């Protein structure tokens, strides 16, 4: 028996409801479903705020970790290790290396980095 029908049946009845042990035994699961639904609380602002911070932090950690991995194991176009580079040359080499994974250049590397960090942040936001 679906609990919506149980509730409607209680309120439409012209006679006073008689609750016996057998009635509770028959409708136990429906009554537990009703009790569970009534006890649910909507998420409050504090939990939403903490989820958003966790999503941001996980996305930032993903970007930093991926950047460090590319620095350690990647090589620039001229054969130089990316870890030996600094500044704009290092950033461009990292993005170019990431872009080459999907067959593009620096722009493709930026898009790949954005998609990865956004995806992981969204995963933690849920």
pLDDT tens for residues 17-54?
566 777 777 778 777 777 777 777 666 777 788 888 88
Both 51 and 103 in one domain: the answer is yes
How many domains is the chain partitioned into structurally?
2
Examine the domain organization and report whether 93 and 69 are in the same domain. yes
- 71 and 120, same domain (yes or no): yes
Co-location of 34 and 8 in the same domain: yes
Chain-centre distance for alpha carbon 107? 26
Say yes or no: 51 and 110 in one domain. Answer: yes
In this structure, are 58 and 118 located in the same domain? yes
The set of residues, in sequence order, having a beta carbon less than 8 Å from that of 54 and lying 6+ positions away, is: 124, 125
Phi and psi torsions of 121, nearest 5°: -65, -40
Tell me, yes or no, whether 12 and 58 share the same domain: no
Question: What local confidence, expressed as pLDDT, does residue 125 receive?
Answer: 73
pLDDT in the model for residue 7: 58
Q: 23 with 64, same domain?
A: no
> Which range marks the domain in which residue 116 is found?
45-125
Same domain, 95 and 117: yes
Distance CA 40, CA 34 (A): 10
Nearest to 74 by CA among 50, 45, 49, 99: 99
Cβ–Cβ under 8 Å, residues 97 and 109: yes
Give me the residue label for tokens 């194991």. Answer: 73
pLDDT, tens digit, 9 for 90 and up, residues 101-110: 888 899 999 9
Same domain membership, residue 58 and residue 22: no
Read off the DSSP letter of residue 84: G
Domain shared by 25 and 69, yes or no? no
What's the rounded Cα separation, in Å, for the pair 100 and 93?
A: 10
Query: In terms of domains, do 33 and 88 share one?
Result: no
């Amino acid at each position: 028996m679906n609990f919506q029908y149980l509730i409607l049946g209680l309120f439409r009845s012209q006679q006073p409801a008689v609750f016996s042990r057998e009635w509770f035994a028959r409708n136990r699961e429906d009554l537990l479903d009703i009790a569970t639904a009534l006890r649910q609380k909507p998420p409050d602002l504090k939990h939403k705020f903490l989820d958003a911070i966790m999503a941001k932090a996980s996305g930032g950690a993903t970007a930093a970790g991926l950047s460090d991995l590319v620095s350690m194991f990647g090589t620039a176009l001229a054969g130089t290790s990316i870890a030996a580079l600094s500044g704009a040359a290092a950033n461009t080499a990292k993005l170019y290396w990431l872009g080459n994974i999907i067959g593009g250049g620096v722009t493709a590397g930026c898009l790949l980095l954005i998609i990865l960090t956004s995806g992981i942040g969204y995963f933690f936001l849920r």
